[in-house]
Amino acid sequence: MKASEIIALLPYQGPFLFVDDIVAVSEKNITGHYTFRDDEFFYQGHFKNKPVTPGVILTECMAQIGLVCLGIYLMKAELKKVQKPQIALTSYQMDFYLPVFPGQKVNVHSEKEVFRFNKLKCKVKMLTEDGELVARGVISGMLKV
């Protein structure tokens, strides 16, 4: 399954799509990236005169790349029959280390911990282009086709 096919199956669209590309994917992990554009809707008012990407948006970006895209890849055989996967986030625990500013590109790497009965649990991390750790944690979700 190609990166473009995985991204096309995501149940999101702009302005709430936080995946630009997937650069590597396997049965065990996935790596992708997203650039937070200067005109993103959430920068208005967060914070005055010094916009910063909200943590919930960083978590969403990590979930879209690290959980949903990986889940779509893992369920590729089932998705040949049904083209609209349903995804529900079930839990997450995240630690943040650096802010992300408008115009900044981030890389997300996720490693599968468990995938059983359509429940996927992953260790995820977000890095700057220079490899500095922005955030890391664990995300779980249910996938249904």
Q: What are the catalytic residues?
A: 46
Give the CA radius of gyration of the chain.
Answer: 15
For residue 9 the two structure tokens come to 């199956």
Handedness of CA 72, 17, 36, 67 (dihedral sign): negative
Q: Which residues contact 100 (CB under 8 A, 6 or more apart)?
A: 36, 52, 53, 58, 106, 126, 128, 134
